[in-house]
A and B are shown apart, each in its own frame.
Chain A
Amino acid sequence: MSKEVRELVRRSLAGDETARAALVVRYQGQVFSLCYRMLRHRQDAEDAAQETFVRAFRSLRSYDSKREFEPWLLAIAGNRCRSQLSLRVRAPRPQALHDELADEREIHDAGTGLAEEVGRAIDKLRADYRAAFVLFHQQHFSYAEISETLECPVGTAKTWVHRARREVARLLVERGVVEEMKHELQ
C-alpha cells in the first residue's frame, strides 16, 4: 500500500472527512467499473459502489493495514455485487431486461470500434469470469489479489481468467472483429 493511501486511511479513521472524500475519488472508478462489469446495470452499479464505500468506512477499524487497501475494498464491492445478483435471481424485475439493454447502449455508444467490441464480449461472460477478467486485465490485479477479492482459491481465479480470455477471443473471431482489425494488429 502506498504511503499516501496509508495516510488517507489513517486520517479517515481519525474522522477526517476530506481524507474519506479523497479515498472515494481515488477508487471510485475501480469500484464502479467492477460493479458495472458484474451487474451490467448502471444504477445498480452506482448503488453497489456507494454501499461499498459506506461499508468500507464503517469497517475501516477492522481493516488490517498490512494488507493492500485496493483488494480489500474491491472484495467488499464483489460481495455487494454477488448479493445483488442473488437478489435478482430470487426476485427478477420485469423491467430488468429493458434497463439492461438501455444501459448497454448507453455504455457502448461511448466506446468505439475494438474497445466497444471487447466490452460487448466481456458483458457476455459469466459474472465470475467477467469479474476475474476485468480485475486481471483492466485493474492489473495479481491472481492472489483476485482470489482475495473474489473469495476463491488462486487456482480458480486463474481458471476463470483463462476461460474468460478464450471466450472473449472466440466472440471476437465470431463477430469478424479479428479479420477487420488484422491490419491494425500487425
Chain B
Amino acid sequence: MNCSEFQGRIDQVLDSRRAPTSDIPLRDHASTCPRCSQLLDSYLAMLQGVRRLEMLEPACGFSERVAIGLARHRRLGWPSRRAVVVLAAAAACLLAVTPWLVRDDGAGRGAREMARKGSTTRSSSVEKVGESSPSTARTPDRAAPKVDTPPSDNGVSEIARVAQKSVSGVLLWGPMSVALLPRAASERSGGHNTPAGGWVDEFAEGLQPLSDSTAGALDGLLDALPGESNDRSS
C-alpha cells in the first residue's frame, strides 16, 4: 500500500464502522510511514473525541413548549389557511374586474369620452378640411398633435391607478378582515375560540412589502390587461 491509497483505505474502514487499528494493511503501512502514522493518529483522535461528545439537550420544558406550539398551530391551521385563500381569491377577483371597474368609473368614462370626442373632432375636422380644401386634406398631421394625447392617457394609467388601489386595499384591509372573522366566530361559539389578535399579528408580521421584481411583474400584468385595447376599439 502506498500513501495515496492509505487515505482511501481509512475512509473505507470507517465507512464500514470498523476501527482503523484493526485493519492490518493500514497498521503495516503506518508503521513504516511517519506521515501516514500521524494521519492515522489524527483519525483515531477524531473518533475518540466524537465518542466523548455528549448528545446536546434542549433547555428544560422543551416537550411542553412543543405541546403549546402544536396547540397553537392546531388553532391557527385552518382559519389562517382559509384567510390566505380568501385574500388571494379577493385579490384575483379585484384584478379580474379592474377593466370593468374602469369602464364604469366616472373618471374613466370621462377620459374615454374625451378621447372619443377628440377622435371624432379629428375625423370631422379632417372631413371638413377635405371638403373645403383638398390640398390641406393631404396633410392631416396639423390636427393630429391636439388629439393624440388623450387616448394614450385614458386606459393604462386608469387601470394602473385602480389596480394599485385594489392591491393596496387588499393588503391594508385583508389582515383586518382576517381579524374580524375569528372574532365573529368566537362570539358565535360563546367565546370558546382563542383570541384572534395573536395570530393576526403574526400574519400581519409575515406580510412583506412588494419587492421590485414583484412590482415589475405587477406592472407587466397591468400592461397586459385588456382594458386599453377595449377602449381603443370602442
Contacts and interface: CB of A to CB of B under 8 A. Distances in A.
Interface of A: 17, 20-21, 24-25, 28-30, 32-33, 36, 45-46, 49-51, 53-54, 57-58, 107, 110-111, 113-115, 117-119, 121, 137-138, 140, 143, 158, 161-162, 165-166, 168-170, 172-173, 177-178, 181-182, 184-185
B54 interface: yes
Contact of B62 (A24, A58, A161, A178): A24
A57 B15 CA distance: 33
B58 A115 contact: no
B52 interface: yes
Interface stretch (B65-73, B140-148, B172-180, B199-207): B65-73
A54 B48 contact: no
19 contacts: A21-B63, A29-B55, A49-B62, A53-B66, A54-B66, A54-B70, A54-B73, A57-B70, A114-B45, A115-B49, A115-B52, A118-B52, A137-B47, A166-B7, A169-B42, A177-B45, A178-B41, A178-B42, A185-B45
Contacts, number: 113
Contacts of B44: 185
A96 B178 CA distance: 34
- The majority secondary structure among interface residues of chain A is helix
B59 interface: yes
B39 A32 contact: no
Contact of B38 (A29, A118, A158, A178): A178
A49 B61 CA distance: 13
- The majority secondary structure among interface residues of chain B is helix
Contacts of B48: 114, 181, 184-185
B41 A46 contact: no
A185 B38 CA distance: 11
Contacts of B55: 29-30, 33, 138
Given A21-B63, A46-B59, A53-B66, A173 B14 contact: no
Contact of B53 (A46, A138, A143): A138
B70 A29 contact: no
A37 B77 CA distance: 30
B54 A169 contact: no
B212 interface: no
B187 interface: no
Contacts of A166: 7
B5 interface: no
Nearest to A116: B49
